[in-house]
Structure 1
Amino acid sequence: MVIPVHDVNPASRTPWVTYALIAANVLVFLSMPGTAGSVTGESGLAQLCRLQAFLGQYAAVPQELIHHHLPRLVPTGDVGIGTGGPGCVIGPPGYDKSPTLSVFTALFLHGGWLHLLGNMLFLMIFGNNIEDRLGHVRYALFYVACGYAASYGFALVNADSGDPLIGASGAIAGVLGAYLVLFPKARVWVLVPFLVFLPLRLPAWLVLGFWFVLQAVYPSGEGVSDAGTVAYAAHVVGFLAGMLLAWPLRAGTPPPPEPGRLLWGRQARHTW
């Protein structure tokens, strides 16, 4: 797996929507129950129960999206003592949940620091150019549309799953798909693990194509939940949705600058 760190493809406008999405994801993550435990790797029972209740209310659940049927009993966030010992109390939900709206809220929830930081890294590197090409408003709508396509695509093949689906990965996969369509020849600096991390500058079609192939061949059918499983099928659907939505703009997109004239996205200066 290669780790992208920078693309050689400067944008002409400030990516305010991308910055706002990153800020929103970080702030929501910091406000989630269990964030402190995700830093240290520790989580108590009370913390776990609060997190389960939070995800039950705000995460997207495939069986809710497909069948539009909410469970009668959900975690309440409290700890109780049962015949098997301490555990999370379940009871009737004390809230009204819209499965369709939960797809939107789930786009800003993450299961841990690595999940969050990995997504934000990809969004920072590739999102600015897609926002530059689409404009702020269309880019925001594009991002949400890819997130919805990824979530519902995953739910269709996992219609009976009750596991919460969270994370911005599906929407960001759409950004990657659009980037592959619009800027396939742009150069991307990546770190390749080979004894040590080797920095290489590779074309975007190779970096993103390799990423897509990995998502397609990895086992799918498991949602991103607090247990840390990965919704590969959502990544694939989001990526394809991004490619499809960006395709009409392909012909009018100017090519990225020649890599030999740029250094880390800035015009190279020659001294004599």
Structure 2
Amino acid sequence: MFIPLHDAVELKYIRAQYVTISIIALNVLIWLFTNFSAPEVAEHASLGLGFIPAVIFNYATLDPSLVIVPDDLTFVTYAFLHMDFWHLASNMLFLWVFGDNVEDALGHVKFLIFYLACAAAGAALHGFVASSSEGPLIGASGAISGVVAAYFLLHPRVRVWVLVLFRIPLPLPAFIPLALWIVQQFAMLALDLDGMVSWGAHVGGIIAGAILVLFMRRKGVPLFDRDIVTPKAVERKPGAPQIAAATE
């Protein structure tokens, strides 16, 4: 539906988004390692680190030779694996645009806990919806859905540059594209249970993110920030003449 490109919300409490950058770097490094090693490495990683509902709910067992971490840890390890470059790039772009301000509102340590908790919530709802699935769930979408939900509650009036329909760049108030995106996730969960995308993981992350930000944000950090922040590319300097739209 849309691709986020840029926002203009300055950091107020932290110097830099160290956790956000570290998560992105770790995801990229893991993807490079798994995708540029032997083909069996990626398969082993997805089975050993991915979240497999049938294994969690004892409908199936994983070959012991494929086990990398205890089953319970796959609730979060799955969120650091990606299928291909575009899967990785889209998730990391969302995290880059929205993660810094959520990290700023929560603090470094709380943001890391928040991120992992949203990932776990995404896996949990995915498992509830498809408890007998033997396919591994991989990708950071559940965790990032939580970040999006938190940003939506923190900065709904900020104008964000988004690429609408993958081709039209527009500066829109954040609540417009994010509300539409959130509604889409719930709708697709109801309409596309058997699809390749885990809408359950997205919805689980959204619910967790919306709840957790209420309790984990710093004291004094408001919800529904009333400040309208506009990207510099569309700001007009005081006193600058209005330019009429060209007509043919």
Confirm or deny: 8 A CA contact 1:182 1:250 kept in the other structure: no
User: What is the rounded CA distance, in whole Å, between the counterparts of 2:61 and 2:8 in structure 1?
Assistant: 47
Task: Determine what percentage of the aligned residue pairs are the same residue.
Answer: 37
User: What is the rounded CA distance, in whole Å, between the counterparts of 1:96 and 1:29 in structure 2?
Assistant: 17
Residue identity in the other structure for 1:246: V
Residue 51 of structure 1 is matched in structure 2 by 42
Residue 201 of structure 1 is matched in structure 2 by 171
Structure 1 residue 26: deviation in Å? 0.1
Residue 164 of structure 2 is matched in structure 1 by 192
1:231 aligns with 2:231: no
Confirm or deny: 8 A CA contact 2:145 2:209 kept in the other structure: yes
Residue 82 of structure 1 is matched in structure 2 by none
Structure 1 residue 270: deviation in Å? 5.0
Residue 8 of structure 1 is matched in structure 2 by 8
Structure 1 residues 66 and 23: CA distance shift in structure 2, 3 A:
same
Structure 1 residues 67 and 268: CA distance shift in structure 2, 3 A:
farther
Confirm or deny: 8 A CA contact 1:178 1:246 kept in the other structure: yes
User: Which of these residues, 15, 19, 22, is aligned with residue 20 of structure 1?
Assistant: 22
Residue 83 of structure 1 is matched in structure 2 by none
Indicate the SS of the match to 1:93.
Answer: helix
Structure 1 residues 183 and 251: CA distance shift in structure 2, 3 A:
farther
Q: How many residues align?
A: 233
Equivalence map 1:33-182=2 (5 Å): 35-36=35-36, 47=39, 49-67=40-58, 70-71=61-62, 74=63, 93=65, 95=67, 97-182=69-154
Structure 1 residues 96 and 138: CA distance shift in structure 2, 3 A:
closer
User: What is the rounded CA distance, in whole Å, between the counterparts of 1:232 and 1:131 in structure 2?
Assistant: 24
State TM-score, norm by structure 1. 0.77
User: What is the rounded CA distance, in whole Å, between the counterparts of 2:226 and 2:17 in structure 1?
Assistant: 17
Confirm or deny: 8 A CA contact 1:174 1:240 kept in the other structure: yes
Residue 228 of structure 2 is matched in structure 1 by 258
User: What is the rounded CA distance, in whole Å, between the counterparts of 1:93 and 1:147 in structure 2?
Assistant: 26
Indicate the SS of the match to 1:170.
Answer: helix
Indicate the SS of the match to 1:144.
Answer: helix
Q: What 5-or-longer segments of structure 2 have no aligned partner?
A: 241-248
Structure 1 residue 27: deviation in Å? 0.2
Structure 1 residue 10: deviation in Å? 1.6
Indicate the SS of the match to 2:134.
Answer: coil
Residue identity in the other structure for 1:253: V
Confirm or deny: 8 A CA contact 2:4 2:161 kept in the other structure: yes
Confirm or deny: 8 A CA contact 1:130 1:175 kept in the other structure: yes
Q: What 5-or-longer segments of structure 1 have no aligned partner?
A: 38-45, 75-91, 224-228
Query: 1:76-135 deviations in whole A, cap 9, x for unaligned?
Result: xxxxxxxxxxxxxxxx52646411112222111000000000000000000000000000
Residue identity in the other structure for 2:8: V
Higher strand share: 1
Confirm or deny: 8 A CA contact 2:157 2:227 kept in the other structure: no
User: What is the rounded CA distance, in whole Å, between the counterparts of 2:83 and 2:143 in structure 1?
Assistant: 16
State TM-score, norm by structure 2. 0.84
Residue identity in the other structure for 2:89: L
Higher helix share: 2
Query: 1:134-188 deviations in whole A, cap 9, x for unaligned?
Result: 0000000000000001101110111111000011110000001111111111111
